[in-house]
C-alpha cells in the first residue's frame, strides 16, 4: 500500500500564497499620510510567517477534510491577524527606546525608513487592524468564532502575553534568571502568540476537549522550543544567515537558554520539547496533523 507522504514545502507555498495575497489586499495602501505605506513595509515581503502557518495547519487539523468556506476565511483572517500582531511588535521592539535596531530582515527598520513617530503609529495601527481583520461584518463568519478569535488574540498580545513578556525582558537585562523565570518570560514573550496561533486555528472548527487539550500542549511546547532554538541560533549562526544581528543576546547581557544551560543541554532541551509537542498531537486524537507535525520539526531543526 502506498503511504501518502506530506511535503511541507509544497504545503507552505500554497498557504503563503493565500496569506501574502490577503495581506497585500487587506492592508490599505491608501491609509492616510504615509501610514499605509509604513504598515505595508512592516508586514509585506518578509518573515517566515510561522504564526500564520500554525493557524492554517491547526485549521486543517480540526477541519478534518470538511470544507467550509466561512471557516476557511476565518482561519485566513486569523492567520493574517496574528502576523500583524507579530509585525507590530517587531516595529515597536526595534525602536530606539527599546532594542534600537536598524536592520530587520535585511532592510532598514521601520523607524529608520519612516521616522520614529510614524513607526509608533504604524505599530499601533497594525494592532488595531488585526482585530479589524477578525471582525468583518459581511463575511458570514459566525459571531461566536469572531469573538473567540478576538479573545484569544487579545490575551496573547497583552499584559498576560507578549507585552508582559517584553516588560519582563526589559527588566531582566543584566539579571541572573533561573530556568523557571526564563521559561515564564518566554512563555509570555513569544510562547503566548505561538500558542494562540494554534488555538485560533482550532477555533475555526469544532474540537472535542481532548483535541483542544492536545493542541494546547502542542502549542505550549512548540512556543518554548521556538525560543530555545532562537537562543541557540543567536550563538551559533552568523548575522547574514539570520538576517539580523547575531550574538546580540550575549552582547546585551540578556539571559538565554544557552547562557543558563550551556549549548549542548539547550539543544537537547529543544529536542525534548519537540517530543512533547508531537506527543500533544498524538494525544489530541486528531488525524490530519501532518502540517502541525512538520512545522514543529522545522521549528526545532531550522538554521535561521
Q: Enumerate binding residues for a second copy (CB under 8 A).
A: 28, 31-36, 39, 88-89, 92, 95, 97-98, 115-118, 120-121, 123-125, 127-132, 134-137, 142-144, 146-148, 150-151, 153-155, 157-161, 163-168, 170-172, 188
Beta carbon of residue 202, minimum distance to a second copy (angstroms, whole number): 15
Contacts of 88 (CB under 8 A, 6+ apart): 42, 122, 123, 124, 126, 127, 130
| CB closer to a second copy, 150 vs 235 | 150
Output 3 or 33, the one with its CB closest to a second copy: 33
Cβ 126 to a second copy shortest distance, Å: 8
**Could you tell me the smallest distance in angstroms from the CB atom of residue 110 to a second copy?**
12
Q: How far is the CB of 179 from a second copy (least distance, A)?
A: 17
d(CA 255, CA 257): 7
Coil/strand/helix, residue 207:
coil
CA dist list (Å): 288 to 14, 53, 65, 70, 280: 17, 15, 8, 20, 14
Q: Cα separation of 115 and 107, whole Å?
A: 14
- Using CA atoms of 242, 243, 246, 252 in order, give the dihedral in degrees to the nearest 10: -130
To the nearest whole angstrom, how small is the minimum distance from the Cβ of residue 140 to a second copy? 13
Q: What are residue 96's phi and psi, to 5 degrees?
A: -55, -35
Nearer to a second copy, 14 or 176 (CB): 176
Which residue in 248, 207, 137 sits closest to 198, CA to CA?
207
| Pair 275, 287: CB distance under 8 Å | no
Rounded least distance, CB 99 to a second copy, Å: 9
103 beta partners: 108
| Beta carbon nearer to a second copy, 129 or 296 | 129
CB of 242: closest distance to a second copy in angstroms? 23
Question: In which residue are the cell numbers 511588535 written?
Answer: 89
| Beta carbon of residue 139, minimum distance to a second copy (angstroms, whole number) | 11
Report which of 25, 29, 46 is spatially closest to residue 37, judged by C-alpha positions: 29
Decide whether 151 or 288 has the Cβ nearer to a second copy. 151
- Cα–Cα distances in angstroms (integers) from residue 239 to residues 86, 106, 107, 285, in the given order: 21, 10, 13, 41
Instruction: Please say which residue, 31 or 263, places its beta carbon nearer to a second copy.
Output: 31
3-state helix/strand/coil string of 116-138: HHHHHHHHHHHHHHHHHHHCCCC
Show the DSSP H helices in 135-178 as ranges. Answer: 143-157, 162-171
Pick the closer one to a second copy by CB: 87 or 299: 87
Which is nearer to a second copy, 46 or 136 (by Cβ)? 136
Amino acid at each position: 500500500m502506498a503511504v501518502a507522504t506530506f511535503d511541507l514545502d509544497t504545503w507552505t507555498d500554497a498557504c503563503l500564497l493565500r496569506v501574502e495575497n490577503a495581506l497585500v489586499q487587506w492592508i490599505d495602501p491608501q491609509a492616510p499620510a504615509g501610514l499605509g505605506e509604513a504598515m505595508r513595509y512592516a508586514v509585506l515581503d518578509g518573515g517566515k510567517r510561522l504564526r500564520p502557518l500554525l493557524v492554517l495547519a491547526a485549521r486543517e487539523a480540526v477541519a478534518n477534510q470538511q470544507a467550509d468556506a466561512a471557516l476557511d476565511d476565518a482561519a485566513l483572517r486569523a492567520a493574517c491577524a496574528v502576523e500583524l500582531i507579530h509585525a507590530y511588535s517587531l516595529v515597536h521592539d526595534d525602536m530606539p527606546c527599546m532594542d534600537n535596531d536598524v536592520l530587520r530582515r535585511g532592510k532598514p527598520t521601520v523607524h529608520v525608513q519612516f521616522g520614529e513617530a510614524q513607526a509608533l503609529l504604524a505599530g499601533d495601527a497594525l494592532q488595531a487592524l488585526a482585530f479589524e481583520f477578525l471582525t468583518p461584518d459581511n463575511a458570514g463568519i459566525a459571531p461566536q468564532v469572531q469573538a473567540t478569535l478576538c479573545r484569544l488574540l487579545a490575551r496573547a498580545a497583552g499584559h498576560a502575553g507578549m507585552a508582559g513578556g517584553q516588560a519582563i525582558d526589559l527588566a531582566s537585562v543584566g539579571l541572573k534568571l533561573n530556568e523557571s523565570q526564563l521559561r515564564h518570560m518566554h512563555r509570555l514573550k513569544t510562547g503566548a502568540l505561538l500558542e494562540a496561533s494554534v488555538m485560533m486555528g482550532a477555533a475555526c472548527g469544532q474540537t472535542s476537549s481532548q483535541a483542544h487539550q492536545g493542541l494546547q500542549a502542542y502549542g505550549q511546547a512548540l512556543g518554548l522550543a521556538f525560543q530555545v532554538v532562537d537562543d541557540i541560533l543567536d550563538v551559533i549562526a552568523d548575522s547574514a544567515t539570520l538576517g539580523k544581528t547575531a550574538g546580540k543576546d550575549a552582547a546585551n547581557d540578556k539571559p538565554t537558554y544557552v547562557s543558563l544551560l550551556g549549548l549542548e543541554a539547550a539543544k537537547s532541551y529543544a529536542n525534548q520539547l519537540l517530543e512533547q509537542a508531537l506527543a500533544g498531537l498524538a494525544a489530541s486524537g486528531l488525524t490530519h496533523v501532518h502540517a502541525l507535525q512538520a512545522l514543529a520539526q522545522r521549528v526545532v531543526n531550522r538554521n535561521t
